[in-house]
Amino acid sequence: MSHAVNADTAGTAGSDAGPTPGLSPKAKAALSEGKKAERRLGLLLCAPAILIMAAVAGWPIVYSLWLSLQRYDLKFPDRTEFVGLENYVTVLSNPYWWNAMWVTVLITVVSVAVELVLGMALALIMHRTLVGRGIVRTSTLIPYGIVTVVAAFSWRYAWTPGTGYLAETVAGGDPVLTEKIPAIMVVTLAEIWKTTPFMALLLMAGLALVPDDLLKAAAMDGASAWQRFTKVMVPVMKPAILVALLFRTLDAFRIFDNLFVLTAGSQGTSSVSMLTYNNLIKGLNLGIGSTMSVLIFIAVAIIAFVFVKLFGTAAPGGDGGGRR
């Protein structure tokens, strides 16, 4: 606590009055004893959490990295050996991997884009609703409250020719889940239906950050409703939008359950997670499977990096990062 306060006052003093030569090093030296103790206490308090994180997250990551550098197939356990980056060459030059990558990117981009638009619309409705606010919010959140696998099964039955109402009405009896592009569309639709409420919730929190006076001022300044939305509301809530996009992009990129239930990756509809699962768990190929998990890990890290560093998204838990 006192840490943050110190940093703040130093910051304002610095920006207002310029550097104060001679004073700050002295102050630093005087504080260092107390600060050291404080830091030690801080580390001690963090230690249990760090140990648990290392055990449940750190070790599996390191172990996957290690496995990815070996030829390690449980079907041929005696041929296990260290092969360096050979697995990576194998995966990255494999058309199945690249197909899965494009499917994943397609589902991610389309679903997140549609969710953003729909989520914003829902958020605005929930924010503006005066009558029956509770009912509107609850009913909006229902899809998000249903277990993904259960929802995916209901989608599958709905699209099954002969019994499903969607297959009969929308698809005209065609087995849409057995063709690549229609199947991907159905999966994307299921994703959107499922997670738009989450997007709407995050965006609604952002809407609450836009002061009413600002919108009134814009109205007085001559802005139409659409201009108030694009020129005032969206820029002011940009940090919240970016956080929502980051969360959803990371989530969507790791899509698994909807695909698993709806197509099980058939007809080239596998996502990268699906492909990894097939290699690692079904194929028992620990080397190749781990290589794929490491590649997904890297892709997710890149997405997060792009959002946080390039778009200036406030990292979850950080403060003020988005204000630049």
Partner 1 sequence: MAEIVLDSVTKQYPDGAVAVRDVDIEIADGEFIILVGPSGCGKSTTLNMIAGLEDITSGELRIGGERVNERAPKDRDIAMVFQSYALYPHMTVKENMAFPLRLAKVDDATVEKKVRDAAEILDLTQHLDRKPSNLSGGQRQRVAMGRAIVRNPKAFLMDEPLSNLDAKLRVQMRTSVSRLQKQLGTTTVYVTHDQTEAMTLGDRVVVMRGGAVQQIGAPQFLYDNPANLFVAGFIGSPAMNFVPAALEHGVLRSALGDVPLTDRVRGLLEGADAPREVIMGLRPEHFEDARLVDEAVRAKGVTFTDHVDVLESMGSDKFAYFSLQGEQATSAELAELAADAGAADVPGGGVSLVARIAATSTAVEGEPADIWFDADKVQLFDPANGRNLTYSG
Q: Which of 75, 213, 317, 319 binds partner 1 (CB under 8 A)?
A: 213
Do you know the residue count of the chain? 324
Dist CA 31 CA 141 (whole Å): 50
- Contact call for residue 235 and partner 1 (CB under 8 A): yes
Cβ contact 296:254 at 8 Å = yes
Query: Which stretch, 35-43, 50-58, 74-82, 206-214, contacts partner 1 (CB under 8 A)?
Result: 206-214
- Contact call for residue 207 and partner 1 (CB under 8 A): no
- Contact call for residue 25 and partner 1 (CB under 8 A): no
- Contact call for residue 223 and partner 1 (CB under 8 A): yes
- The torsion angle over the Cα atoms of residues 244, 139, 109 and 289, rounded to 10 degrees, is 90
Dist CA 223 CA 243 (whole Å): 27
Q: State how far the alpha carbon of 287 is from the alpha carbons of 58, 95, 222, 280, in Å.
A: 19, 18, 63, 8
Query: Which stretch, 108-116, 169-177, 227-235, 292-300, contacts partner 1 (CB under 8 A)?
Result: 227-235
Interface with partner 1 in residues 149-168 (CB under 8 A)? none
Which CB atom, from 200 or from 232, has the smaller least distance to partner 1?
Answer: 232
- Contact call for residue 132 and partner 1 (CB under 8 A): no
Q: Which of 10, 105, 166, 219 binds partner 1 (CB under 8 A)?
A: 219
Dist CA 199 CA 192 (whole Å): 10
Dist CA 270 CA 201 (whole Å): 29
Query: Which stretch, 36-44, 140-148, 217-225, 241-249, contacts partner 1 (CB under 8 A)?
Result: 217-225
How many residues line the site for partner 1 (CB under 8 A)? 20
At what angle are helices 238-253 and 286-305 packed, to 10 degrees?
170
- Contact call for residue 238 and partner 1 (CB under 8 A): yes
DSSP 79-133: G-EE-TTHHHHHHHT-HHHHHHHHHHHHHHHHHHHHHHHHHHHHHHHHHH--SSH
Q: Which of 109, 236, 299, 315 binds partner 1 (CB under 8 A)?
A: 236
Interface with partner 1 in residues 305-324 (CB under 8 A)? 323
Q: Which of 73, 227, 254, 312 binds partner 1 (CB under 8 A)?
A: 227
Q: Which of 93, 220, 226, 282 binds partner 1 (CB under 8 A)?
A: 220
Positions in the binding site for partner 1 (CB under 8 A): 15, 211, 213-214, 216-224, 227, 231-232, 235-236, 238, 323
